[in-house]
Amino acid sequence: MYRIRFHGRGGQGMKTAGRILGTAFFNEGYEVQDAPRYGAERRGAPIFSYVRADKKPIDERGIITNPDLIIVADDSLVNIPAAGVMQGLNEHAVLLINSRETAETWQNRLGTKINIIVLPVNSSVPNPAEMPFIGAACVGAAARLLGVVGQSALVDAIHEELQDQGPDIIKANCDRALEAFEYMALYENCVQQRQAASALDYQQPEWIRPVFEKARIAAPTIHAGLTSVQVKTGLWRTLCPIIEYDRCNRCWWICSSACPHNAINVDGSTPVIDYDHCVGCMVCVAQCPPHAISAIPEAEADSEIKKSMQQLAH
Amino acid sequence: MMLARRLLTGNGAAAWAARLAQVDYIPAFPITPQTEIIETLSRWIDNGEIPGKLVTLESEHSMITAAGAAAATGVRVFTATSSQGLLYGMEMLYTVAGWRVPFVLINVSRALASPVTLEPDHNDVLAARDSGFLQIHCATCQEVLDITLMAYRLSEDARVRLPAIVNEDGFYLSFTREPVYIPDADEVKDFIGEFDSENMQFRASAPTSQAVAVLGGSPYSYFRYESHLAAENARIVFDEICDEFEQRFGRKYGALESYHVDDADYVIFMVGCFATKAKAAVDSLRKAGWKIGLLRPRLLRPFPGEKISQLLAGKKGVAVIDQNLSMGKGGILHCELASVLYGNKDAPPVLMSFIGGLGGRDISQEEFFEIAKQLKQASETNEIPAPRLLYTVDELRQIHKLQAIAHVERAILNRDHQNPDSHE
Amino acid sequence: MNDTHFKRMKDLPSTHLLGTGTPMCAGCGGLQAINDIYDILGEKTVFINAAGCMTLLSVYPFTPFRGSWLYTAMASAPAGAQGVRDALDILLEKKKIGQEENLTAVVLTGDGSAYGMGLSATSAAIDRNLDFIYICYDNEGYGNTGQQYSSATPHGARTSTSSGSMGYPGFKKDLFSIWAAHKPTYVATVIGAEPLDLARKIEKAAQLKGPRFIITLSPCPTGWGFDPQETMQIGKLAVKSGVWPLKEYIDGKIIHTKVPKIRMSVEDYLATQFRFAHLFKPERNTRLIDEIQGRVDEYWDHVS
């Protein structure tokens, strides 16, 4: 059985990517199971989808913990433990990552034994955060790595899954998928199917019997305020707002009042962005009267934030 | 201590219990056969006889929400409903039970639509079986009063902290007067104590978010299982409370009423007020030389399974009379009992199922005798008959007459053979 | 409005009370309004919530509130407020708590609950003259489940359950009038994009007693189909085009608090959102656009 997991952010089309690959497998005569997984998370939050494919009926169900192939549409997710990208990643699995960095760089980060393949970021797009048709690109690449899903099955699957989107969008997705398919020729058929868990040799679950705890402990009650600040929703951000303090009017109210996420604090009369919690909606960029806030791709944001902070210090 | 004994209906007893428990808040909604409870309490409040606030909501769904919310704010709450009302509020029964806030809800059992009807059976309250509410069934008006008082102690106990349903049967208790001892108010006050909201309350000085969502099965499983463990605790706590109640008030209760079970070969198992009819039947049968008894759970949640197993160990046969019907399965108590007996090596070999008393249909003494006879036969022949609805030839004949008036097709199709006996 | 604390934009709070880290969508117009509202209502509140997007403000163990919160169910948040209010009053009366421990009960629901499932509970809470504030964030559809049409969906809007070429065939319910017909203490419409108008109304509501109602139109990037950064512009357009009249009901009178001097055409508003894209592409549906404009014009014709 093939077990494949797609990781991306809400809005990057991972659900559709999973469905396209599922349909493509199905078109190739496989039994298939595909499903997206998301909770309360919104656009920009880490989500994943998964696909199982086998020549026999599939009895496994639920989240894949022992993947053969992990596809990461957004490389910033690797550093977010909650995204679960690394779950089940070992020498067996292949990690396909959409990144501007090289496979060697990733190998240095994650370990040399991990089989990492980089899908280069589409350089023709001025804003890399936008990642147009990234889902299709991921599926195209994945199909080649698997080696059992052909181009026509892939194209048919895209047509089937995107039939509501109109011919232009379908064509763009097909082009992008086939481009990625071509690009991965070198790695064709590199994904190997893993055996199912063995009843002869398994890790025993560490079961525990929960004991009674009084309702003052065991009710779904929070006995404090403001605990949500511990959730770093800044991790959802793909675009980053930067204040150019030289141009800031110190009007204070507009960006701070406008921010739906309360992520701009006013210190005296100076707005300061709380990057731990800015989700990158860019309402502040649109609202700032002197246009003192600009949007920078998250990947380039670190140095710009530093510059901005230096300006602020002066 | 002066004991007042007076004639009270079940509803009157319930109202007295709320009064003696000194409840702060009564969210209400009228429904037959419950309405008398809230009318009584409202009158007492309006006359200035008792403190407290009664608010009529616009539905039972809202009523139970308000009950839970007030309990979550830190006051003692009483509420009551019946039948369709309990079902209309069912979403909130499950919801507020998970808040882990204590209060008492009286359910006056009444059969469910469809067809809509007024008289009792237990399908309404059994629909709340898995809600997280504790559930206690009464058989007399005295029990309605006493058990409601005990339910406050049980629900508010730190080892429990779950809301409780006290069930009384519509009509046969709700509108039936019996002599009832009304305990001394101060003694009850001493018995129940002040309401302690623990840390479940809303105060400006202590921000509290209650009933928040969870994401994922792990935290959900923890919270749900903790409610289960709390309900399990209620079994022991209820015994303690019964003991204390007996010491203070002289009336003895327990999770089960066991009537002539100890030396019995055969046992009738049922809940609710029709069980007193079974008691009368047991008396008659004993006079006729039968070794038979009655086992009646008061506690249904938590289910006193272990005690039941012990009491029924070694018996030749048990007949369960279910005043409820789970379509496509049968009697609910029959299933509950089977699940606690299964695998016990001295479990009764015969477990029979009877469905009776649906929608207030009477169960006659003769029917109890016949149940006993069939139970004995089953034990002796080792052939257990299929579950049976208590229903007579005459009843079927009557329904056919009604159908004729209603112009149902049978009137045309069966014109030639009108013998209802042939259906038996 | 002379007695308001909020005379100009600079009077708006410079620090905000609601915590960060909530899982609302980027650019959520509802969250923006709730932030502004919470700045004024403050932490001596208990928010009583019905099922909707904002239910996820508090996901165990995280809450953005400095004060308190109670989740109820979709239909019965006003009844939850009744229980909380009554219990607090009982505790105050019995002197179990002092005034300093008192809280304002604030119901927070989406339009799905306010316009639909919870309307009966709300109506009855007004009958009972419940002392509470009700805030409805209206994103004109069942947003938390992926934007199906609700009783608040505007005519012609595409939702996931009205995806035909004419969009939603029904008409947005006039909840303001329905609520006002109950003669409660206060009813107002607000929008996060007009924070000064919003602040004045919340300030006024906070000072009154009895049932008080706020409906905030909540531009929804996810459900309406626009870039999150446009939340404010779209909110302003809703007001300037006359689609979302800012008004209040008090003492039996309805006052419009911001009458656009020259009303922009509704087309300028509709064209910003994907849910109305079918009115313009593949060809312009002039009839439907004119119909929508006509209804807005008719409304304003009756505003003196």
Cβ-Cβ contacts under 8 Å, C102 against chain B: 204
pLDDT at B353: 98
The per-residue pLDDT for range C259-303, each reduced to its tens digit, is: 999 999 999 999 999 999 999 999 999 999 999 999 999 999 999
> CB contact, 8 Å: B274 with chain A?
no
Residue C1: pLDDT above 50? no
Q: Which two tokens stand for residue C134?
A: 């009700």
Binary contact (A233, C192; C-beta < 8 A): no
Say which CATH number the domain at A130 has.
3.40.920.10
* Greatest mean pLDDT range, A45-59, A79-93, A189-203, C64-78: C64-78
Nearest to C90 among B53, B92, B214 (CB): B53
| Residue at B151: amino acid letter | A
Mean pLDDT of the region B2-17: 91
The per-residue pLDDT for range B264-319, each reduced to its tens digit, is: 999 999 999 999 999 999 999 999 999 999 999 999 999 999 999 999 999 999 99
Say which CATH number the domain at A282 has.
3.30.70.20
Split at pLDDT 50, 70, 90, the class of C2 is: low
d(CA A236, CA A43): 8
d(CA B49, CA B47): 5
Cβ-Cβ contacts under 8 Å, A206 against chain B: none
Contact A65, A46 (CB under 8 A): no
Cβ-Cβ contacts under 8 Å, A40 against chain B: 213, 215
Cβ-Cβ contacts under 8 Å, A214 against chain B: 158-159, 161, 198
CB atoms within 10 A of CB C92: 14
* Average pLDDT over chain B, rounded to an integer: 96
Same domain for A257 and A166: no
Cα separations in angstroms, A142 against A58, A87, A88, A160, B213:
20, 18, 18, 18, 37
Binary contact (A219, B223; C-beta < 8 A): yes
pLDDT at A129: 57
CA distance B230 to chain A (A): 7
CB atoms within 10 A of CB B282: 24
Pick the range with the lowest mean pLDDT from A260-274, B143-157, C128-142: A260-274
CA distance A268 to chain C (A): 9
CA distance C88 to chain B (A): 7
CA distance A225 to chain B (A): 6
pLDDT at B421: 52
Residue A77: pLDDT above 80? yes
d(CA A149, CA A24): 7
CA distance B217 to chain A (A): 11
Split at pLDDT 50, 70, 90, the class of B387 is: very high
Nearest chain C Cα to A44, which residue? C26
Q: Which of A239, A283, A130 is nearest to C28 (CA)?
A: A283
Nearest chain C Cα to A259, which residue? C32
The per-residue pLDDT for range A105-162, each reduced to its tens digit, is: 999 998 878 899 999 876 665 555 567 789 999 999 999 999 999 999 999 999 999 9
A209 lies in some domain: no
CB atoms within 10 A of CB C294: 11
d(CA A97, CA A100): 9
Same domain for A45 and A120: yes
CA distance B256 to chain A (A): 24
The per-residue pLDDT for range B207-237, each reduced to its tens digit, is: 999 999 998 899 999 999 999 999 999 999 9
Binary contact (A43, C231; C-beta < 8 A): no
Nearest chain B Cα to A217, which residue? B199
Hey, what CATH class is B256-389 in? alpha beta
Tell me which residue has tokens 């639509």: B113
Same domain for A17 and A148: yes
Output A201 or B380, whichever has higher pLDDT.
B380
pLDDT at A122: 67
Tell me, yes or no, if the two domains B4-249 and B256-389 fold the same way.
yes
Hey, what CATH class is C9-301 in? alpha beta
The torsion angles phi and psi of C133, rounded to 5 degrees, stand at -115, 135
Contact C200, C8 (CB under 8 A): no
Q: Which of A275, A251, B408, B272 is nearest to C21 (CA)?
A: A275
Binary contact (C228, A282; C-beta < 8 A): yes
| Sign of torsion over alpha carbons B345, B347, B348, B354 | negative
Nearest to C63 among A222, A236, A282 (CB): A222
A208 lies in some domain: no
pLDDT at C14: 82
> CB contact, 8 Å: A225 with chain C?
yes
Q: Looking at residue C135, what DSSP letter applies?
A: E
CB atoms within 10 A of CB A39: 11
Output B416 or B260, whichever has higher pLDDT.
B260
Cβ-Cβ contacts under 8 Å, C90 against chain B: 24-25, 53, 70, 75
Split at pLDDT 50, 70, 90, the class of B415 is: low
Binary contact (A261, C31; C-beta < 8 A): yes
State the residue range of the domain holding A42: 2-187
pLDDT at A150: 95
pLDDT at A212: 97
Residue B20: pLDDT above 90? yes
The per-residue pLDDT for range B113-157, each reduced to its tens digit, is: 999 999 999 999 999 999 999 999 999 999 999 999 999 999 999
Same domain for A167 and A71: yes
Binary contact (C63, A228; C-beta < 8 A): yes
Nearest to C44 among B55, B204, B210 (CB): B204
Count of domains in chain A? 2
A46 lies in some domain: yes
CA distance A268 to chain B (A): 28
Chains contacting B with at least 3 CB pairs below 8 Å? Answer: A, C
Binary contact (C27, A283; C-beta < 8 A): yes
pTM: predicted TM-score of the whole model, two decimal places: 0.94
Nearest to A260 among C9, C31, C62 (CB): C31
The torsion angles phi and psi of C254, rounded to 5 degrees, stand at -105, 125
Nearest chain A Cα to C226, which residue? A281
Same domain for A153 and A243: no
Same domain for A260 and A151: no
Same domain for A166 and A39: yes
> CB contact, 8 Å: B114 with chain A?
no
Q: Are strands A69-72 and A94-99 parallel, antiparallel or unpaired?
A: parallel
Q: Are strands B299-301 and B134-137 parallel, antiparallel or unpaired?
A: antiparallel
CATH architecture of B4-249: 3-Layer(aba) Sandwich (3.40)
Residues 6+ apart with CB under 8 A from A133: A13, A172, A173, A176, A177
User: Which of A187, A202, A217 corresponds to the end of one domain?
Assistant: A187
Output C26 or A40, whichever has higher pLDDT.
C26
CA distance A218 to chain B (A): 6
Cβ-Cβ contacts under 8 Å, B58 against chain C: 120-121, 123-124, 127
b/e string for A105-141 if b means 16 or more Cβ within 10 A? ebeeebeeebbbbbbebbeeeeebbebebbbbbbbbb
The per-residue pLDDT for range C193-238, each reduced to its tens digit, is: 999 999 999 999 999 999 999 999 999 999 999 999 999 999 999 9
Cβ-Cβ contacts under 8 Å, A225 against chain C: 19, 43, 63, 65-67
Same domain for A182 and A43: yes
Cβ-Cβ contacts under 8 Å, C71 against chain B: 210-213
Residue C102: pLDDT above 50? yes
pLDDT at B286: 98
State the virtual CA torsion across A76, A82, A85, A86 in degrees, nearest 10. 110
CB pairs under 8 A between A and C: 136
Split at pLDDT 50, 70, 90, the class of B424 is: very low
Q: Are strands C186-191 and C246-250 parallel, antiparallel or unpaired?
A: antiparallel
Q: Could you tell me the residue ranges of all domains in chain B?
A: 4-249, 256-389, 397-423
